[in-house]
Amino acid sequence: MVVYLLASVAVVVAQLLVGHPLHLVLTIVSAAALMFRRFRPVAVVALLAVVETALLLLEPFASNTGLSLWFGLYAVAVRRTRAFSFITTAAVSLPLIIVFVFFFELPQDVPLPAGPERALAGVVTAVVVLLSNVIATGIGIGVRRDREHEGELRAWAERNARLASVSERNRIAREMHDVVAHSLTVMIALSDGAAVVVRRSPERAAEVLADLSQTGRMALADMRRVLGVLHQDSPPETAGRRPLPEHAGLEALFEGFRTAGLPLAVATTGPVLPADPAFALAVYRILQESLTNVLRYGRAVSRVQVQIVHLHPVVRLTVSDDGGGPLVAVASVGTGQGIIGMKERASIFSGTVSAGPGQAGGWRVDAVLKCPASGGTNGCAEVASATAAVRRAARPIRWPEWTGGSRCCWSTTSGCCGWVSG
């Protein structure tokens, strides 16, 4: 509005000097209308078209002819679609074009001979006015496109932030489910066992209670480790954000379930699992959740079998039990998302998880994961090489061979030795 008034000062003063105050009134009306161009751009530009046509009829040689329309058309283009903006430009330019083409005449003092040249001046002026309006509309369309692009970038950043937040919440919820469900299940089993043996064997009850206390402390440490990442002012080192807690490990996990009364036997085939922390965490949590469900829901379980088969690049985890008896509804101490969480962990490594009744009864969980690229095959190659060297030695090998309570089973598929304990 200020720019329009400054550009119109010279013309308004000239018109006042020759006794045409109406030009001042129409200029003020145009300036007042421009104040509302951001709120009602279409109505404003329609009013400006009428005022500019009247100004053109009063003074066709004014230097500010069509100037207010530029601001109005820019406002329309910024807020409306491209097609609507160009249609509006054509509509408001039409009255001015008609005036210039049919009613415009050059002053007599202009050094042009009478004829087509003087008649063509109105057409040229109309074209210039039309092009100036189109340019104003084009600038508005460019600004609108840039703003939309910036809005899309902001929306994309906000969506990514929300997805990251949801992903982190899901990760924390999954970790909390594993920690709470496993620890509470083991603690319930230990407390029930202590209640049974406290009268017959106080010493054994004291050992069970000590295991119960230790399980609670480990669960508390796990919860602190998981929830520590929520403190944004704590660096990762102080928050203890490790893939696995310090006491974690498959042997410690299996031993904890045996202490809780689970008749567990473990068979491992192939080389050692990859040392990738994320992969180790996935294997740990899948086995933990599967065994926790056996301990929590199993009935008349006399044997639980865990098989870990590493045939590079695939690792297969199988947890099965021979439980029987009636299916009794048991109150859950978890969140009901255990199997979903296992599937999500396996999918990170292009794997799958299936769970359902076993062929011979009980329950069976099968998980297949693909080793990360850094896993390599050195473990299996070393075992096969060592075994070949033994075969070339003095005596033949008979399989299975018992060594220290463990059974070494040769796998013809992988060429590796599987050690079975239990």
pLDDT digits (tens, 9 = 90+) for 47-97: 988 888 888 887 777 766 778 888 889 999 999 999 999 999 999 989 888
Q: Quote the DSSP letter at residue 228.
A: G
305 and 318 in contact (C-beta within 8 Å)? yes
pLDDT confidence of residue 118: 61
Instruction: Quote the crossing angle between the two packed helices 116-197 and 67-79, to the nearest 10°.
Output: 30
pLDDT confidence of residue 225: 65
Choose from 20-29, 149-158, 388-397, 402-411 the range with maximum mean pLDDT.
Answer: 149-158
pLDDT confidence of residue 239: 42
pLDDT at 108 over 90: no
pLDDT at 126 over 60: yes
| Average pLDDT value over all residues in the chain | 75
Choose from 53-57, 140-144, 245-249, 380-384 the range with maximum mean pLDDT.
Answer: 140-144
**Helix (H) or strand (E) run with residue 76 in it:** helix 67-79
pTM of the model: 0.46
Amino acid, res. 219? A
Top pLDDT among 166 and 401 is at: 166
Mean local confidence (pLDDT), 27-40? 85
**Helix (H) or strand (E) run with residue 317 in it:** strand 314-321
**Helix (H) or strand (E) run with residue 308 in it:** strand 304-311
pLDDT at 8 over 80: no
pLDDT confidence of residue 364: 92
Q: Specify the range with the lowest mean pLDDT, choosing from 142-151, 284-293, 335-344.
A: 335-344
**Each residue of 199-247: pLDDT tens digit?**
788 888 788 788 777 777 777 776 766 666 555 444 444 444 444 554 4
pLDDT at 372 over 60: yes
pLDDT confidence of residue 335: 53
**Residue % of the chain over a pLDDT of 90:** 16
DSSP letter string, 1-15: -HHHHHHHHHHHHHH
Long-range contacts of 103-109 (CB under 8 A, 24+ apart): 103/57, 103/60, 104/60, 107/61
pLDDT confidence of residue 354: 92
Beta-sheet pairing, 363-370 with 314-321: antiparallel
Top pLDDT among 394 and 197 is at: 197
pLDDT at 387 over 90: no
Spatial CB neighbours of 374, under 8 Å, sequence gap ≥ 6: 274, 276
Pair of tokens at residue 139: 């600038």
Burial 179-192 (b: 16+ CB within 10 A, else e): bbbbbbbbbebbee
Mean local confidence (pLDDT), 252-271? 88
417 and 409 in contact (C-beta within 8 Å)? yes
Q: Specify the range with the lowest mean pLDDT, choosing from 106-115, 141-150, 318-327, 408-417.
A: 408-417
pLDDT confidence of residue 325: 52
d(CA 221, CA 225): 6
Top pLDDT among 170 and 323 is at: 323
12 and 23 in contact (C-beta within 8 Å)? yes
Q: What is the CA radius of gyration of the chain?
A: 42
243 and 348 in contact (C-beta within 8 Å)? no
Distance between start and end Cα atoms, the chain? 89
pLDDT at 28 over 60: yes
Which pLDDT band, with edges at 50, 70 and 90, does 348 fall under?
confident
Which pLDDT band, with edges at 50, 70 and 90, does 393 fall under?
very low
Q: Specify the range with the lowest mean pLDDT, choosing from 8-17, 276-285, 366-375.
A: 8-17
**Residue % of the chain over a pLDDT of 70:** 68
pLDDT at 175 over 80: no
Pair of tokens at residue 144: 């609108």
d(CA 239, CA 247): 17
pLDDT confidence of residue 390: 36
pLDDT confidence of residue 215: 74
pLDDT confidence of residue 309: 93
269 and 411 in contact (C-beta within 8 Å)? yes
Burial 398-417 (b: 16+ CB within 10 A, else e): eeeeeeeebeeeeeeebbbb
pLDDT confidence of residue 146: 93
Mean local confidence (pLDDT), 335-353? 80
DSSP 3-state of 409: strand
Which pLDDT band, with edges at 50, 70 and 90, does 394 fall under?
very low
Pair of tokens at residue 44: 């404003």
